[in-house]
């Protein structure tokens, strides 16, 4: 059965561009981003992996480890990484999994037969330190993902894991957040000393509590 939000992300052993890894050991207590791409030596994927490498510090700052995956071989990964570094002016040093037997792709439901019987689609999973799936997105091969959005979601997930808040549409780090419905307005005033703005009884804003 396909993974759902809140499920435990399956552990796996993998051959990767940086050597063999055990997924859980690699993550340790960090957050994780595991994302698949259809194939090595393809243009959109080249830009996605370059962008991920360029955002290394942004991921590290958020205590996030990234792993890419395709069903191509380690040899293909090695040659392609050279191309990515050359064309995207980056240094790809995060693991790219060679899932040649497709065992990880199947465990994470990354192969969508109506898109392709053999190649992974652009799946992306954000996994919390508790190893639970916090977010899943799926893009078709023709559309590269927005990695600023991935960082934005990580900011929201990390904030809402700590405080009884939710983040509104298009929210960005530093902007006001929403008090969750489970917290009464009286309680919210106690919990959020920076102030609570009541627009409707169910729509209450407060400044981002950890800023």
Of residues 54 and 141, the one with the C-beta less far from ligand BEZ: 141
Q: 68 vs 23, 148, 211, CA distance in Å?
A: 12, 17, 32
**Per CB under 6 A, 39 contacts ligand BEZ:** yes
Q: Are 145 and 28 in contact (CB under 8 A)?
A: no
Considering only CA atoms, which of 51, 32, 31, 44 is closest in space to residue 70? 44
Interface with ligand BEZ includes 45 (CB under 6 A)? yes
Strand order in the sheet with 203-206: 165-166, 177-179, 203-206, 197-200
Of the residues 9, 34, 45, 92, only one is catalytic, namely: 45
Enumerate residues 6+ apart whose C-beta is below 8 A from 124. 33, 34, 35, 36, 135, 136, 137, 138, 139, 145, 150
**Burial of residue 192 (number of CB atoms within 10 Å: 0-12, 13-18, 19+):** buried
45 tagged catalytic: yes
> Is residue 42 a contact residue for ligand BEZ (CB under 6 A)?
yes
Which one, 43 or 201, has the nearer CB to ligand BEZ? 43
Instruction: Tell me how many residues contact ligand BEZ (CB under 6 A).
Output: 8
In the list 21, 44, 115, 137, the residue contacting ligand BEZ (rule: CB under 6 A) is 44
Residue 43 engages ligand BEZ in binding (rule: CB under 6 A): yes
Q: Whose Cβ is closer to ligand BEZ: residue 20's or residue 43's?
A: 43
> If binding is defined by CB under 6 A, does position 115 make contact with ligand BEZ?
no
Q: Which of 74, 107, 135, 141 binds ligand BEZ (CB under 6 A)?
A: 141
Distance CA(25)–CA(173), nearest Å, equals 30
Nearer to ligand BEZ among residue 144 and residue 207 (C-beta): 144
Residues carrying an active site annotation: 45
Binding site for ligand BEZ (CB under 6 A): 38-39, 42-45, 141-142
């Amino acid at each position: 059965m396909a993974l759902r939000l809140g499920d435990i992300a399956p552990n796996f052993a993998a051959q990767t561009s940086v050597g063999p890894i055990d997924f859980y050991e690699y993550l340790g207590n960090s957050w994780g981003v595991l994302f698949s791409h259809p194939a090595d030596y393809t243009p959109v994927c080249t830009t996605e992996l370059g962008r991920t490498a360029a955002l290394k510090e942004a991921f590290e700052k958020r205590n996030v480890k990234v792993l890419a995956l395709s069903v191509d071989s380690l040899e293909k990964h090695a040659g392609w990484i050279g191309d990515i570094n050359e064309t995207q002016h980056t240094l790809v040093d995060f693991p790219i999994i060679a899932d040649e037997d497709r065992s990880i792709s199947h465990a994470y439901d990354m192969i969508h037969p109506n898109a392709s019987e053999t190649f992974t689609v652009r799946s992306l999973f954000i996994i919390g330190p508790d190893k639970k799936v916090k977010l899943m997105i799926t893009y078709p091969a023709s559309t590269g993902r927005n990695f600023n959005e991935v960082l934005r979601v990580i900011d929201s997930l990390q904030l809402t894991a700590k405080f009884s808040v939710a983040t509104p549409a298009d929210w960005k780090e530093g902007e006001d957040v929403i008090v969750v419905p489970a917290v009464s307005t009286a309680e919210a005033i106690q919990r959020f000393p920076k102030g609570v703005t009541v627009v409707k009884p169910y729509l209450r804003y407060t400044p981002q509590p950890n800023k």
